[in-house]
């Protein structure tokens, strides 16, 4: 019985294989060609896809590496700038004294505010080069600091005499004159920064007023057209121009600048 069952099973399998072979043989050749082309296209598509994925992954990794390098470089440059600024600040303190060093830093900040202002960028302020003023201020503070250091040592000597008192008084007068001239320029430059910011504010106000006036005129025209017709629209009332305010601020700035230039000539 077992041999007969095995024989029957083999016959069924053999018959199935024969039927499959016959069916395959019955498939027309063009169909096989089409199937081959489709299979090849699928294979090529898969290969291209894998290549694209690999290229994209490599590019993403390269971009990430470059991003990290840029971030590290930016951080290093920031640390370098901060270190330079710290050293420059300490150098000013050593050569000018703490209070006068703070005045110079305030002046440098004011100059940057002037240069960064819209008024300066658009030419309202003319020349904004304060390098000569910064140089003069720094030199005056340096001389005053050096004089003060020597006077402190002389004042600390025992048994001061009349000559000591006389030369110390002269030194104090010179220190006051040097610092007074420098502080005057510091004050004027800070006023320039304030005026530049006020000019910027006036320019912004002028733009806002012009925008609102244009919107008002447009809405008046639409409303008048809806109510009375375009011909009957009332003329828009002229708005006060902010140009006069801008020019007033510019004039104030230039007056302060003239004071600085006179201080240069006197110095």
Query: 15, 46, 72: which is the final residue of a domain?
Result: 72
Residues 96 and 192 occupy one common structural domain: yes
Span 32-88, pLDDT tens digits: 678 778 888 888 899 998 899 999 999 999 999 999 999 999 999 999 988 988 888
Beta-strand runs (E) in the chain: none
Cα dihedral sign, 25-30-34-36: positive
Whether 4 has a pLDDT exceeding 70, the answer reads: no
Name which residue leads in pLDDT, 112 or 17. Answer: 112
For the question of whether the overall pTM of this predicted structure is more than 0.85, the answer is no
What angle separates helix 162-227 from helix 131-155, to the nearest 10 degrees?
150
Q: Which residues contact 176 (CB under 8 A, 6 or more apart)?
A: none
| Domain count across the chain | 2
Q: Coil, strand or helix: which one is 130?
A: coil
Domain span holding position 249: 79-266
In a domain, 248, yes or no: yes
On whether residue 19 sits in a domain, the answer given is no
Q: Does some domain include residue 197?
A: yes
Instruction: Establish if 3 belongs to a structural domain.
Output: no
Are 188 and 237 found together in one domain? Answer: yes
Tell me: the pLDDT tens digits for 141-200?
A: 999 999 999 999 998 888 889 888 999 999 999 999 999 999 999 998 898 888 889 888
Who wins on pLDDT, 17 or 87? Answer: 87
At 111-157, the pLDDT tens digits run 999 999 998 888 887 778 888 889 999 999 999 999 999 999 998 88
Decide if 224 contacts 234 (C-beta within 8 A). yes
Pick from 15, 42, 72: which residue ends a domain? Answer: 72
Question: How many Cα atoms sit within 13 Å of 130 on the Cβ side?
Answer: 28
CA-closest candidate to residue 193, choices 135, 257, 237, 241: 257
Same domain membership, residue 111 and residue 165: yes
**Same domain membership, residue 169 and residue 47:** no
């Amino acid at each position: 019985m077992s041999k007969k069952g095995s024989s029957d099973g083999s016959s069924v399998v053999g018959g199935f294989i024969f039927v499959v072979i016959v069916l395959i043989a019955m498939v027309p050749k063009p169909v096989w060609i089409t199937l081959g082309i489709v299979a090849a296209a699928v294979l090529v598509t898969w290969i291209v896809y894998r290549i694209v994925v690999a290229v994209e992954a490599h590019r993403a990794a390269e971009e990430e590496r470059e991003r990290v390098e840029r971030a590290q470089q930016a951080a290093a440059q920031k640390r370098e700038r901060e270190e330079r600024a710290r050293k420059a600040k300490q150098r000013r303190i050593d050569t000018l004294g703490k209070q006068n060093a703070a005045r110079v830093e305030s002046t440098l900040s004011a100059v940057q505010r002037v240069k960064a202002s819209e008024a300066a960028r658009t030419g309202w302020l003319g020349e904004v080069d304060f390098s000569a003023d910064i140089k003069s201020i720094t030199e005056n503070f340096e001389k005053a600091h050096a004089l003060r250091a020597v006077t402190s040592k002389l004042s600390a000597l025992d048994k001061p005499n009349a000559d000591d008192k006389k030369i110390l008084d002269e030194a104090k007068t010179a220190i006051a004159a040097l610092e007074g001239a420098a502080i005057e320029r510091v004050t004027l430059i800070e006023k320039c920064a304030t005026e530049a910011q006020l000019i910027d504010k006036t320019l912004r106000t002028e733009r806002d007023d012009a925008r609102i006036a244009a919107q008002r005129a447009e809405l008046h025209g639409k409303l008048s057209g809806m109510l009375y017709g375009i011909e009957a629209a009332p003329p828009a009332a002229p708005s006060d121009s902010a140009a006069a305010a801008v020019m007033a601020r510019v004039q104030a700035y230039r007056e302060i600048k003239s004071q600085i230039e006179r201080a240069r000539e006197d110095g």
